[in-house]
Amino acid sequence: MFEPEIIAFCCEYCGYSAADLAGAMRVEYPPNVVIVRVPCAGYLTPVHILRVFEEGYDGVFIASCLEGSCQYRTGNERAEKMVSIVKKLLDEVRIGGERLEIYKMASSMGKYFADIAINMTEKIKKLGPNPIKLIEERFEEEEHKQLKEMGVRISNT
Amino acid sequence: MLLQNEQNLTKKISKTGAVMVIGAGVSGIQASLDLADSGYKIYLVEKGPSIGGKMTQLDKTFPTNDCATCILAPKLVECIRHRNIETMTLCEVVKVDGYAGSFKVTIKRNPRYVDLDKCTGCGQCEKACPVKLPNEFDLGLSQRKAIYRFSPQADPNVPVIDAPNCRYLTMGKCEACSKICPTGAINFEDRKELINLDVGALILAVGFEQSDISKLKELGYGRYPNVITALQFERIMNSSGPFLGHIQRLSDGKKPEKIAFIQCVGSRNKEKDYCSSVCCMQATKEAIMIKEHIPEIDVSIYYMDIRVYGKEFDQYYNRARDKYKVKYIRSMPSSIEEDPLTHNLFVTSVQENSLKTDEYDLVILSTGVEPSVDAQVISKNIDFDLNKYGFCKTDRYSPVETTRDGIYVCGPFSEPKDIAESVTQGCATAGLAGALLSSKRGTLVKKKIFPEELDVIGQEPRIGVFICHCGNNIAGVVDINSVKKYSEKLPNVVYCEDMKYACTQDSLQQISQIIKENNLNRVVVASCSPRTHESLFRESLRNAGLNQFLFEMANIRNQCSWVHSNQPEKATEKSKDLIRMSVARAASLESLELFSIPINKKALILGAGVAGMTAALTISKQGFEVVLIEKKNEPGGLAKRIEYDFEGKQPKKFVEELINKIGKDPNITLLTNSELTHIAGFVGNFKSKIKRRIKDGEFEQIDIEHGVLIVATGGEEYQGTDYGYGANNKILSQLEFEHKLVEKEINPEQLEKVVMIQCVGSRTEEHPYCSRVCCGEAIKNALKLKEINPDIEIVILYKDIMTYGFLEQYYTKARDMGIVFLRYDDNNKPEVLPEMNGKVRVKTIDLSLRREFLIDCDLLLLSRGIIPSPSNEELFKILRVSLIEQGFYEEAHPKLRPVDFASEGFFLCGLAHTPRHIGEAVAQAQAAASRATVILSQKELLAGGEVSVVDQDKCVACLNCVRICPYQVPFINENGVAQIEVTNCYGCGICVGVCPVRAISLKNYKDEQVIPKIEALFKKELV
């Protein structure tokens, strides 16, 4: 069974607080989601996101403040724009833009955060692993084949 | 004589540098923080088990729809953590002896039965307790136990035992909680005690109660399950509320399709002849939230006047009506009946002259504001007066002072008001208490001294990992042993320890000790949330001589054990992942320096109206110098033109007194004919240029260095020619009329009929906001005319009468005296027709009666609104601050930072903020002064830490950062490249993302510090 690795970038205020509250309310969600705290969703750049996919994560979501209540005024709007650009890039390189999402939430929305974590995990499970991983595996296989042809023995440890 | 002098002398000497704040709602918390930050010891006394007040029960706040908890929680944490604030929960004041500057207060502390120091807030006792009771936090919509926290996010996060309902305390059997408590925090022997404290001043912030609506049986509350209050509905909408945010009816849990709000329940009636000021906006907010959740729900609001008199309220209301299609029905229901089968409700009201009944499946009562239940007792115990409504008595021109010297009041305890006004008043009381005790500033506060920091640059990372069990909270799910063994082997980890509770005082000391003994230079704590505990652990680093930024937390409780309790093995694996990620990041962390910057202790205030002068005096009393500049040739501003008030007092005199005091104050320099032309620098160190007109065509430039700036540039009377203004001397503005009346140029005895038109230049397309003061102004003048000549017929043409708070009584009085109020709207505006027989002819339609009227009057008075000062258009560019659409200045946050600008060190008060009454401007000015004092009273400012820096060699001056920064911090310096002042940067990192050449980095969040953390999830094999 494919277990996706999903990263959730949470802004220091609402996103992270909502994730904390999900815990305080003991709402269960799959352990596939790991949370990374950032000062503001607006801090994230396409480079961060692409790097995450390059590393092999299967999905990413950003949890930012609600519309109009970003602690840093416009950070969530910036992040939203960034996400729409990176989604297109991901589509172009066939990783798939649907692996990246942004959700706006208030710090009191613990249940909502958990719901997102659940839905995101389900969605990514259906999509399957990040294609980059498959490419890497194929590379390795081909490498092995070539080495074999060259007569090098590979021990599978 | 000698004796008296001696007494005065001793009084002076024996002042105490501590303040007691009674009530820990949002206004009390604000007062406490301001005072504690400016050098006073605070006792924050709260009757309940946790702080935060009514605001914690709200879902969202108007007009920004901010989540109430999101914006309040940081202040609560700050309060609990503050070195100079002693939070005393479950405490009540019994007696206050002494005098202003030196009070002796007796406090009664009620037992909590849970040890604050031992309890870790794990919540196991609450699960174990067998007694179920209605939950007050959810207003009875859910259940709590006999040992409980007031709210899930309570501060302090420690439960209390409800003694009358506890089985052990009443029957001597049970002890379920004490048996399960892992730290032995339950103490059934806890008893109430009396505590004596010396303070210099008291601040009353005891809040309000929801109207007692049990008396209003005809509305069905308590009889019909689907009739609820607006506050209950806040809980229903809240995502951590009883229904997790699903809007539903109480009778059957079904989603309602048609909802009605009923306004003015428990206010604006015979017994409560005041307006509760907040309910119109609250209902509008709730209606918008409903529509945002489920657009197809039909929402109606039954009301008398929609009171949208605050900043951006009118737009909010328009949005609800036009965009969200909320129906506003101007009619008060006479009855509500229930269909016993469906539990639907029939609301009957008069609409357009006929009785109409509508069916709804949920009815929400907008209950009003009543004085705190403790008002009577407190007023007796502390010895100050209440007004006729039972609220704290205050004077119009000193709205935060009680009748007893040295005792101040803020928030809705003195009059119903919203959060923004309550916070403003909280600051204002801090300003006054600080002024009273300025000679004792800094005498009772604690200052913590840390050992000198070690230099870790160039050292190989030596990481210590501390894994917390949090009792059973983590250890009950996660296999700590396995996690520990794993963590020991992670790269750079030289020490690993597990702790039962990492946050107890013992553990914190132990961490410091271990850092020193093992020469650790990075620390990772795997426990709970950095939001609540990061500052605590960082202090342990500082105690060990380690820079506080060499620290990283792995949240293995809230984000692991608590949410994966059903999958303990996976939770254990995830804990390892999270720790590995944190360790990877920790290795790349750097020491960050906090710079200490000296502060110029002078304030510059722009505008010498009531607000500017009040702010100047409040700052001067705190012992700081003020330069007050005024564009005009004399101080006084708009208030000087107001001749009398409702009580017959003369605001003019009040203004003259202020001018007098300013003249005599050696700390204040007043410069008239002066304008600010340039400002540079940053908080604590501004350099400004002032242009002063010496005589016509001759100017001089004055350079001023100052630490803070207050903008009090005021507003102006609207000057349009609407309704024939200027055509003849029978059409006057309210202010002109007042003046002529006092100068006896108008004789009321000769007048037969007077018409007044409201909202002239307000709530129009050009000026789409309510000017707040004009309804009061018109009613005041109408009453004055009636007083002199009771035979005058007066007709007031209005849209909504905005007599909020205690102004309502004058509206009632006006109607009782026969003053006629006819309502018009934008589609049916009054018209001024050609003069007939020497009288002004006004044509109008009354919307209630649906009839046209022609009125010939001797005098037509136009209630002209307040417009922003034209100077704003220039000044906002000089200051680099923002204006709102309507032309007034924009504050940092409309609710919680109402007198701060987003730019550090700039503050705002008076009409420059929005139109307001004199008393409100006074409170706002005192508030701005208090906020400014928080900066001026510091010895030095600490700047730096997590801020953005520009690599000057890489910058290509593309201006992206300059444009994108939400606070306008980056600028192009003399070298032609972008620069970010460390003192001004908020550390959001938005600029980092837009820099095309990666010249900007955010300290502590550099790419090389964030990427390793991301990579580490896949580096399991490193071990």
Residue B1023 has pLDDT above 50, yes or no: no
Lowest-confidence segment of A135-149, B761-775, B828-842, B987-1001 by average pLDDT = A135-149
pLDDT digits (tens, 9 = 90+) for B956-988: 999 999 999 988 899 999 999 999 988 889 899
Chain mean position to CA B644: 32
Question: Is B1018's Cβ below 8 Å from some Cβ in A?
Answer: yes
Q: CB distance B152–A24 less than 8 Å?
A: yes
Question: Is B828's Cβ below 8 Å from some Cβ in A?
Answer: no
Parallel/antiparallel/unpaired status of strands B102-109 and B91-99? antiparallel
Q: Give contacts of A28 with chain B, Cβ < 8 Å.
A: 563-566
Q: Which of residues 70-99 of A touch B (CB under 8 A)?
A: 71-75, 78, 82
pTM of the model: 0.85
For residue B451, the 8-state DSSP code is: P
Q: What's the full length of chain A, in residues?
A: 157
Model confidence band, residue B1022 (pLDDT cutoffs 50, 70, 90): low
| Cα within 13 Å of Cα(B892), Cβ side | 21
Query: Cα(B507)–Cα(B520) distance, rounded to whole angstroms?
Result: 16
Tell me, what's the pLDDT at A153?
62
Question: Which among B60, B64, B66, B67 is the top mutation candidate for probing chain A, defined by the most A β-carbons within 10 Å of its own β-carbon?
Answer: B67
Question: Is A41's Cβ below 8 Å from some Cβ in B?
Answer: no
Q: CB distance A17–B531 less than 8 Å?
A: yes
Angle (deg, nearest 10), helices B774-788 and B734-742: 30
First to last CA, chain A: 22
Lowest-confidence segment of B40-54, B290-304, B881-895 by average pLDDT = B881-895
Q: Give contacts of A68 with chain B, Cβ < 8 Å.
A: 64-66
Q: CB distance A110–B966 less than 8 Å?
A: no
pLDDT digits (tens, 9 = 90+) for B552-582: 999 999 999 999 999 999 999 999 999 999 9
Query: Cα(B983)–Cα(B1006) distance, rounded to whole angstroms?
Result: 19
Residue B344 has pLDDT above 80, yes or no: yes
pLDDT digits (tens, 9 = 90+) for B764-801: 999 999 999 999 999 999 999 999 999 999 999 999 99
Q: Which residue of A has its CA nearest to B965?
A: A74
Q: How far off is chain A from B928, nearest CA to CA, in Å?
A: 22
Pick from B68, B71, B989: CB nearest A42: B989
Q: How far off is chain A from B893, nearest CA to CA, in Å?
A: 10
For residue B749, the 8-state DSSP code is: G
Residues paired with A35 in a beta bridge = A8
Pick from B68, B558, B964: CB nearest A24: B558
Q: Give contacts of B557 with chain A, Cβ < 8 Å.
A: 23
Pick from A30, A69, A111: CB nearest B66: A69
Tell me, what's the pLDDT at B254?
95
Tell me, what's the pLDDT at B6?
45
Average pLDDT estimate for B950-954? 95
Residue B2 has pLDDT above 70, yes or no: no
Question: Is B138's Cβ below 8 Å from some Cβ in A?
Answer: no
Average pLDDT estimate for B887-915? 93
Question: Is A56's Cβ below 8 Å from some Cβ in B?
Answer: yes
Tell me, what's the pLDDT at B161?
97
Query: Cα(B446)–Cα(B431) distance, rounded to whole angstroms?
Result: 21
Model-level ipTM above the cut of 0.95: no
Alpha-helical (H) ranges within B937-976 are: 960-964
Parallel/antiparallel/unpaired status of strands B839-846 and B708-711? unpaired
pLDDT digits (tens, 9 = 90+) for B504-529: 777 899 999 999 999 999 999 999 99
Query: Cα(B482)–Cα(B956) distance, rounded to whole angstroms?
Result: 51
Tell me, what's the pLDDT at B80?
87
Average pLDDT estimate for B729-738? 95
Pick from A27, A39, A69: CB nearest B64: A69
Q: Give contacts of B1002 with chain A, Cβ < 8 Å.
A: 39, 43
Q: CB distance A78–B964 less than 8 Å?
A: yes
Question: Which among A26, A37, A57, A66 is the top mutation candidate for probing chain B, defined by the most B β-carbons within 10 Å of its own β-carbon?
Answer: A37
Model confidence band, residue B696 (pLDDT cutoffs 50, 70, 90): confident
Q: Give contacts of A108 with chain B, Cβ < 8 Å.
A: 59, 67-70, 238-240
Alpha-helical (H) ranges within A5-99 are: 14-24, 46-55, 75-92
Query: Cα(B764)–Cα(B758) distance, rounded to whole angstroms?
Result: 11
Tell me, what's the pLDDT at A152?
67
Question: Is A127's Cβ below 8 Å from some Cβ in B?
Answer: no
pLDDT digits (tens, 9 = 90+) for B49-101: 999 999 999 999 998 787 788 788 878 888 988 999 999 999 999 999 999 99
pLDDT digits (tens, 9 = 90+) for B117-145: 889 888 899 999 999 999 999 999 999 99
Model confidence band, residue B736 (pLDDT cutoffs 50, 70, 90): very high
Pick from A31, A42, A48: CB nearest B571: A31
Question: Is B567's Cβ below 8 Å from some Cβ in A?
Answer: yes
Model confidence band, residue A24 (pLDDT cutoffs 50, 70, 90): confident
Q: CB distance A66–B574 less than 8 Å?
A: no
Q: CB distance B563–A21 less than 8 Å?
A: no
Query: Cα(B59)–Cα(A46) distance, rounded to whole angstroms?
Result: 34
Residue B943 has pLDDT above 90, yes or no: no
Question: Is A118's Cβ below 8 Å from some Cβ in B?
Answer: no
Model confidence band, residue A93 (pLDDT cutoffs 50, 70, 90): very high
Lowest-confidence segment of B35-49, B207-221, B664-678, B913-927 by average pLDDT = B207-221
Q: CB distance B1007–A16 less than 8 Å?
A: no
Query: Cα(A94)–Cα(B100) distance, rounded to whole angstroms?
Result: 74
Model confidence band, residue A11 (pLDDT cutoffs 50, 70, 90): very high
Tell me, what's the pLDDT at A154?
55
Lowest-confidence segment of B6-20, B53-67, B164-178, B888-902 by average pLDDT = B6-20
pLDDT digits (tens, 9 = 90+) for B193-209: 999 999 999 999 999 99
The CA angle B999-B1005-B1010, to the nearest 5 degrees, is 105
Question: Is A42's Cβ below 8 Å from some Cβ in B?
Answer: yes
pLDDT digits (tens, 9 = 90+) for B846-874: 888 888 999 999 999 999 999 999 999 89
Inter-chain CB pairs, A–B, below 8 Å: 173
Q: Give contacts of A31 with chain B, Cβ < 8 Å.
A: 560, 563-564, 567, 570-571, 573-574
Residues paired with B525 in a beta bridge = B466, B553
Tell me, what's the pLDDT at B700?
95
Pick from A26, A55, A74: CB nearest B1015: A55
pLDDT digits (tens, 9 = 90+) for A25-48: 889 999 999 999 999 999 999 999
More confident residue, B80 or B20: B20
Q: Which residue of B has its CA nearest to A133?
A: B1018
Q: CB distance A19–B993 less than 8 Å?
A: no
Tell me, what's the pLDDT at B395?
95
Q: Give contacts of B69 with chain A, Cβ < 8 Å.
A: 106-108
Q: Give contacts of A49 with chain B, Cβ < 8 Å.
A: none
Q: CB distance A20–B531 less than 8 Å?
A: yes
Tell me, what's the pLDDT at B1021?
67
* Residue tagged 């018109």 (tokens): B778
CB atoms within 10 A of CB B962: 18
Q: Give contacts of B884 with chain A, Cβ < 8 Å.
A: none
Closest CA to A15 of A87, A71, A98, A83: A71
Residue B727 has pLDDT above 90, yes or no: no
Tell me, what's the pLDDT at A26?
84
Helix (H) or strand (E) holding A61: strand A59-64
Q: Which residue of B has its CA nearest to A73?
A: B966
Asked if B459 and B489 count as a contact pair (C-beta separation under 8 A), the reply is no
Lowest-confidence segment of B387-396, B404-413, B832-841 by average pLDDT = B832-841
Question: Is B1008's Cβ below 8 Å from some Cβ in A?
Answer: no
Q: What integer best gives the mean pLDDT of chain B? A: 93
Q: CB distance A78–B990 less than 8 Å?
A: yes
Q: Which of residues 435-454 of B touch A (CB under 8 A)?
A: none
Tell me, what's the pLDDT at B42?
98
Tell me, what's the pLDDT at B579?
97
Question: Is A52's Cβ below 8 Å from some Cβ in B?
Answer: yes
